[in-house]
Structure 1
């Protein structure tokens, strides 16, 4: 098995196209847990080997998945696949990156179950550039160390964090106000 790079920066149209399909997005999430065979991926997704094999090939062609190992089974060769990295980041020059992530998150969030403890909220903060950088670093530290749990009692939850400069104009001070 090759050494895993710290992260992969997504920049090519092939990478975005590969990750833009809901089934391929789910495959990536499965492979974040551990390397898996086509049979294991097929069972987890409730799909067919042909469909999963096609989508794994698209991810491989985009440079996001690689062959981890092979072994002989019943006269055939079983292939085990893995992500080239468990962490993907968007290239800062990629204008469609935020839309891509929001579309993926929206697909995961809908539909929610009635017993789902999830929470989605949009908040705006007024920060200096230094405060924004410090907050981004704290958020990265907070979620950067989380690894998939192996216990059967655990369930996967998505966490979408985005710190961005919002296009919100500033109102002038109210008349007769001392606020600046």
Structure 2
């Protein structure tokens, strides 16, 4: 996904809308395909009123729009979709926001689950760091429609940042 395909988040209302765990889950569902309130309610195991309220907040923030309507059993069914498949976060707020979002969506790792969280530190030159960042950007972000039947979603949080780790001087090898 290129930067041109991402909606830049510019307002505090957009960050606030995405910051709520249920709204974050709604966005993840709508990344799969447009959906009705009923479909979202069923997938989330929530109530229609609660989901409708959170969809309205996402719409007011300019992140979700009405995709279509159709008449059913004397009423109107609305289908909602994301404005963009992804969002571009500003440098100042983005890392903290993504970190908090990942923590909020993490399920506890159960016995036999393949969950794995680790922090690595790589010692890279600035050129190597840029090359790695470019390589990570080309990584296929995996689309739901390509998933095997029975596949479950797993999150991968990648963050390439210059760590605040001082470097020791070479060890003095005095004999």
| TM-score, normalising length: structure 1 | 0.88
Whole-angstrom distance in 1 between the partners of 2:44 and 2:67 = 20
The equivalent of 2:135 in structure 1 is 138
**1:11 Cα deviation (Å)?**
2.8
Answering whether residue 164 of structure 2 is matched by residue 175 of structure 1, we say no
Q: Deviations over 1:37-92 (max 9, x none)?
A: 00000000011111000000111111111111111111111100001111122112
Moved more, 167-176 or 155-164: 167-176
Deviation at 1:112, TM superposition (A): 2.0
In the alignment, the residues of structure 1 paired with residue 105 and residue 49 of structure 2 have an alpha-carbon distance, to the nearest angstrom, of 24
Which consecutive unaligned segments of at least 5 residues does structure 2 have? none
Give the deviation of 1:128 after TM superposition: 1.4
Partner secondary structure for residue 139 of structure 2: helix
Alignment match, 1:42: 41
Q: Helix, strand or coil: the match of 1:99? A: helix
**Root-mean-square deviation (Å):** 1.5
Match of 2:65 in 1: 66
Aligned counterparts of 1:23 and 1:107: Cα–Cα separation in 2: 10
CA distance in 2: counterparts of 1:42 and 1:114, whole angstroms: 29
Q: In the TM superposition, what whole-angstrom CA distance separates every residue of 1:105-158 from its partner, at most 9, and x where no partner exists?
A: 1122242222311211100111111111110111111134x2114543111111
CA displacement, residues 19-52 of structure 1 (integer Å, 9 cap, x when unaligned):
1101001001100110000000000001111100
TM-score normalized by structure 2?
0.91
CA distance in 2, matches of 1:155, 1:110: 12
Structure 1 unaligned regions, length at least 5: none
Corresponding residue pairs, total: 170
* Distance in 1 of aligned mates of 2:167 and 2:24: 38
Question: SS of the residue aligned with 2:58?
Answer: helix
